[in-house]
């Protein structure tokens, strides 16, 4: 194997974390801000790009880091190396309620496509790159733009999803239609495109967006029930207007604001 062969265990239900066990000189890479805890003698180091060693020289490292900017991530990632002579553990936490999914890239043909903010951590040697959309419709209306993340290698990678996770194994030619924001990721053999919902009533009053994703097999598809964008939208919608509460505890609620006005006595 090119990537380090790590052992792991996932803990928790709604707010999960993954504990990675490292043999001597084994390492794991992670997104900045995902670190939770670690044993002593684990060396933490900030690296340019993903540290997969697929790019050599200064220009190669700059290119590797530049790919991360295109996916909306930072220039740097963090490497955790077991510098001792015994096994050590390091843990990484999910950023919001949901599930952590373990992806064995050796079982995925060495490549897995996921939404750009799903990646949590991976064995050292896994390449975290970008996947450009070759279709204009997918890029303009797909919710993830022209670019998604591409995980390549033969090691373990871990992605995070919001809410409950659904996994569908699509047969050749089988099509699954999904809300664009609910996609976690899919096998590289899956064909991904965007389809217009259609219909005036659906478009104007449906409340589900104008487009949904069509995923065509063969391959495995991972879907989340609570995208972060949906969670953030609900939180923003519930924030007090003008610094005052919305009256959720009253029978009138929002109607009370209209009747009573902004002044409360």
Residue 70 predicted with pLDDT over 70: no
Paired tokens of 71: 């996916």
**DSSP3 helix / strand / coil % (the chain, rounded to 5):** 20, 40, 40
Q: What is the pLDDT of residues 31-40, one digit of tens each?
A: 888 999 999 9
H or E stretch covering 237 = helix 228-238
Q: What is the pLDDT of residues 198-249, one digit of tens each?
A: 555 544 544 455 678 889 999 999 999 988 777 777 778 777 765 555 544 4
> pTM of this prediction?
0.78
Q: What is the mean pLDDT of residues 23-46?
A: 93
Looking only at the bridges linking them, the beta strands covering 27-30 and 119-123 are: antiparallel
**pLDDT value at residue 92:** 97
Which residue would you say has higher pLDDT here, 184 or 249? 184
Cis check: omega of the bond before 107, within 30 degrees of 0: no
| Domains of the chain, start order | 7-235 (3.60.160.10)
Contact indicator for 141, 211 with CB cutoff of 8 Å: yes
Average predicted confidence (pLDDT) for the chain: 79
Strands (E), the chain: 7-11, 17-22, 27-30, 35-38, 42-48, 76-82, 88-93, 98-104, 111-114, 119-123, 127-132, 147-152, 156-162, 165-170, 175-179, 183-187, 191-196, 211-216, 219-224
**pLDDT value at residue 23:** 96
The CA angle 13-178-94, to the nearest 5 degrees, is 25
């Amino acid at each position: 194997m090119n990537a380090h062969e790590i052992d792991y265990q996932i803990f928790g239900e709604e707010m999960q974390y993954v504990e990675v066990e490292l043999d001597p000189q084994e390492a794991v890479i992670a997104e900045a801000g995902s670190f939770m805890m670690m044993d002593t003698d684990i060396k933490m180091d900030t690296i340019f790009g993903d540290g997969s060693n697929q790019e050599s020289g200064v220009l190669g490292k700059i290119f590797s880091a530049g790919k991360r900017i295109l996916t909306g991530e930072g220039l740097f990632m963090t490497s955790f190396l077991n510098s001792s002579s015994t096994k050590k553990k390091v843990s990484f936490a999910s950023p919001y309620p949901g599930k952590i999914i373990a992806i064995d890239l050796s079982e995925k043909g060495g490549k897995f496509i996921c939404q750009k903010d799903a990646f949590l951590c991976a064995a050292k040697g896994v390449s975290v790159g970008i996947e450009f959309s070759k279709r204009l419709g997918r890029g303009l209306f797909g919710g993830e733009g022209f670019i998604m993340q591409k995980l390549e290698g033969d090691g373990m990678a871990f992605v995070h999803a919001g809410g409950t996770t659904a996994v569908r194994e699509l047969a050749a030619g089988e099509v699954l239609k999904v809300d664009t924001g609910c996609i976690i990721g899919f096998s590289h053999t899956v064909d991904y495109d965007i389809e217009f919902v259609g219909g005036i009533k659906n478009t104007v009053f449906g409340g589900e967006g104008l487009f949904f994703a069509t995923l065509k097999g063969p391959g495995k598809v991972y879907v989340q029930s609570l995208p972060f964008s949906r969670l953030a939208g609900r939180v923003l919608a519930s924030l007090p207007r003008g610094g005052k509460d919305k009256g959720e505890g009253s029978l009138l609620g929002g109607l009370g604001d209209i009747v009573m006005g902004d002044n409360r006595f």
